[in-house]
Amino acid sequence: METNNEYKLVPDFGYCFGTGWRVMTDNFLRLFLVIIILAIVTAPFKMFNFHFDWSDLYRGPWHWGHNWAHNWGHNWDNDWFNLGTFGIFAAFFGLLAMLYAFLVAPVFEYGGNMIFVQAVRKIKPDFEYLIKGFMENYLHIILANLLVFALVVLGLFALIVPGIIIACRLAFVSYIIMDKKLDPIEAVELSWKLTRGHGWQIFLMGFVSIFIIIFGLILLVVGIFPAIMWVCSSFASLYESVLRQKEPHVETPLAETPSAETV
């Protein structure tokens, strides 16, 4: 039953999106800031989209690139040179991108997910969660992210459908890692247990979320931010509602902070 201090948390498609909308509007500025930060920390991926063109050097001072390329062109095959030398640079930047994707980005993403859970629990979002993973359970975050990625990829290789099923059943791993501080194996097992009976609902929510985000992009692009906030709030409300349904004995910080501040 819903009270003044608590959202109505029911593990149902409509209720999750309805509660997610309320969570987003009640904490709009704080959650908007979280989404902005997450967008910024993923920006480095664009830096590794490495392209090289001799004409870029030609436009440089003294046209040194043109002369250098011209001289080398008489002695070496330029195609081989580009493929060899600059292929190494491309591989190096690709390696950096991969390391960033697996060793840095997950910490921010997991922390961001936990902030949305805090908002659902009517706790003032703690921005320290965005970096707290680097100081507390960094190894668990990295290993859990790697484990989920590997399981989903293996499932996708097995005719795609198993990968979708695994992705849906492990949708709560990031929340569990941050919320309960479990190790990766325990987090995967608990997510599988909690999502039993909710797989189709998670799939449907993910499917609908695609259209919500597309609609946000259509609204002059800026609508993408509230769209993502709504989706994240909805999945956080699903996690919290399923957690309370299947683990009613688990105490949440909500009871300790009944008058948490919202924006």
**Tokens matching residue 223:** 């609508």
Residue 60 sits in the same domain as residue 34: no
| Amino acid identity for residue 82 in this structure | N
Query: Do 250 and 190 lie in a common domain?
Result: yes
User: Are 175 and 223 in the same domain?
Assistant: yes
Instruction: Quote the mean pLDDT of the chain.
Output: 82
- 123-131 mean pLDDT: 92
Q: Supply the pLDDT for residue 24.
A: 96
**Is 129 within 8 Å of 178 (Cβ atoms)?**
yes
Question: What total of structural domains would you count in the chain?
Answer: 2
Report pLDDT digits (tens) over 15-32.
999 999 999 999 999 999
Same domain, 227 and 142: yes
Same domain, 170 and 132: yes
> Domain range for residue 126?
13-42+107-256
pLDDT of 127 over the 90 cut: yes
Residue 211: which residues within 8 A CB-CB, separation 6 or more? none
pLDDT > 70 fraction of the chain, expressed in percent and rounded = 75
State whether 78 and 176 are in the same domain. no
Same domain, 83 and 128: no
**Do 193 and 135 fall into the same domain?**
yes
Is residue 7 domain-resident?
no
d(CA 115, CA 123): 9
Higher pLDDT, 203 or 74: 203
Residue 71 lies in a domain: yes
Claim to verify: residue 82 and residue 115 sit in the same structural domain: no
What span, in angstroms and rounded, lies between the C-alpha atoms of 234 and 23?
8
Say which residue, 72 or 148, is predicted with more confidence: 148
Q: How far, in Å, CA of 217 to CA of 7, rounded?
A: 28
Confidence class for position 3, pLDDT limits 50, 70, 90: very low
Q: Alpha-carbon torsion 152, 155, 160, 161, what sign?
A: negative
How does pLDDT run across 68-93, given as a tens digit for each residue? Answer: 344 444 444 455 445 556 568 777 88
The 10s digit of each residue's pLDDT in 216-239 is 999 877 899 999 999 999 999 999
* Residue 170 resides in a domain: yes
Q: CA nearest 116: which of 181, 37, 186, 185? A: 37
pLDDT band at 96 (very low <50, low <70, confident <90, very high): confident
| Amino acid 78: pLDDT | 52
Contact by Cβ (8 Å): 116, 232 = yes
CA 219, distance to chain mean position in Å, is 22
Q: What is the DSSP string of 153-183?
A: HHHHHTTSHHHHHHHHHTTTHHHHHHHH---
Residue-level pLDDT at 150:
96
How large is the average pLDDT for residues 124-131?
A: 92
